[in-house]
Amino acid sequence: MSTPQEPYQPGHTGLGSRQLPQQPHFGQDPDSAPFGLPGQPPPRTPRNRRKLWIIAAGAGGVLLLVILGIIILVNIAGSATNQARGLADGFTKLVIAGDSSKAYDEYLDPALQEQLSKEAFISGVKSLEMDRSCKPAYTDLKVATENGTKSADIVGLISCEGKEVDLAYRFEGADELKMTNIKLRPAG
C-alpha cells in the first residue's frame, strides 16, 4: 500500500516532503545581504571609475597643453637669441677680417649710417688693429619684441693676442634686424 503524499507546506518536514539542495554561494556568506551589512555603502561601481578617468584625462590634457606652450615659448625665444648671436657673429667676423666696408653696408641701419660715415667707421675699426687672432665672446645677449619691433642687445669682448676690445651692439627691426647702435673700443 502506498501512502498518499501530502502537499508541501513550509516549515513542515513530513515523510513525503522534499527538501531542495541549497545552492552554493561563492564569495559571500549566504546569510548576509548582497552588499554586506546593513548601513554599509555599496562597493564602487564602474560609473565612479569612469568619472575618475574623465577627470584624469582632463588634467592630463591641460598638462599636455602647458608643456606644449612652454616648448613653443622656449623655441621662439631660442630662435630670436640664435638670430641675434648670428648677426653679431657675422658682423664681428667681417670687422676682424678687415672687411669693414662690407660690414657697414650689410649690417648698419640707414639711420646709423647717417650719423656715422663709412670712412669714419672704417678708420675707427682700423685703429683697433684687430687681426685673425681675435675671437669674440658675448657676455650678455638680450632679445625683446615690442609692438612688432624686435630688438637685440649684445655685449661682449673681442680677445686678441696682447689686447682686448669691448663691444656693444644693438640690432632692431620688424622683419630684418639692422644695427642701430655700436660700440667698439679698446678695453680698459
Output the pLDDT for position 174: 84
Residue 125: pLDDT over 70: yes
Cell representation of residue 118: 663709412
CA–CA gap between residue 60 and residue 63 (Å, rounded) = 5
Choose which CATH entry (1.10.238.10, 3.10.450.50, 3.40.50.2300, 3.20.20.150) describes domain 66-186: 3.10.450.50
* Residue pair 182/88 in contact by the 8 Å Cβ criterion: no
Q: Which residues of 7-23 are buried (b: 16+ CB within 10 A; e: fewer)?
A: eeeeeeeeeeeeeeeee
Residue 81 has pLDDT above 90, yes or no: no
Q: What is the mean pLDDT of the chain?
A: 81
Q: Where are the domains of the chain?
A: 66-186
CB-CB contact of 132 with 158 (8 Å): no
Q: Which of 3-12, 102-111, 128-137, 174-183 has the lowest mean pLDDT?
A: 3-12
